[in-house]
Amino acid sequence: MPKLEFSDAANFISALKSQSTFASRGTKAYTDLHELLDNLCVLYLSVPDEQRAQIRNLAAQSSPTIGNQLLGHIGWSGEQARSSKDGEWVRRGLAAASIEDNRSDYRDMFRALGGLYLAASSVGIDCSRYFQEAAELSSAQHGRSPLVGSMRAFLAKFEQSAYFNSDVRPRIGKYLSPRVRTEILNVLADIWDPLEVRNGKHSRNEYASYVDDVYELLVKDPTDARITNHLCQTARQRMEMEPPPSTSRAVRTLQAINLSEDPA
- For the stretch 52-75, pLDDT in tens is 999 999 999 887 889 999 999 999
Q: Is residue 213 within a helix (H) or strand (E), and if so which, with residue range?
A: helix 211-220
Confidence bin at 142 (pLDDT 50/70/90) = confident
The 10 Å Cβ neighbour count of residue 220 is 12
Q: For the residues 116-140, what does the mean pLDDT come to?
A: 94
The dihedrals phi and psi of 153, each to the nearest 5 degrees, come to: -70, -35
Residue type, 214: V
pLDDT digits (tens, 9 = 90+) for 168-197: 998 887 778 888 999 999 999 999 999 988
pTM, two decimals, is 0.74
Question: Whose CA is closest to 98, among 43, 146, 147?
Answer: 43
227-232: average pLDDT: 96
Average of pLDDT values for 27-52? 94
pLDDT at residue 205, as a whole number: 84
* pLDDT, average across residues 97-104: 93
Band (264; pLDDT cuts 50, 70, 90) = very low
Residue 236's pLDDT band, with cuts at 50, 70 and 90, is very high
> Given pLDDT bands bounded at 50, 70 and 90, which one contains residue 146?
low
Q: Decide if pLDDT at 1 tops 80.
A: no
Rounded to the nearest integer, the mean pLDDT of the chain is 90
Taking 60 as the threshold, does the pLDDT of residue 263 lie above it? no
Of 33, 138, 47, which is closest to residue 94 (Cα–Cα)? 138
Share of the chain above pLDDT 70, in %: 94
Q: What pLDDT score was predicted for residue 144?
A: 64
Tell me phi and psi for residue 96, to 5 degrees.
Answer: -60, -40
Mean pLDDT, rounded, for 201-221: 86
Query: What residues contact residue 1 under an 8 Å CB cut-off, 6+ apart?
Result: 35, 36, 39
Q: How far apart are CA 87 and CA 125, in angstroms?
A: 6
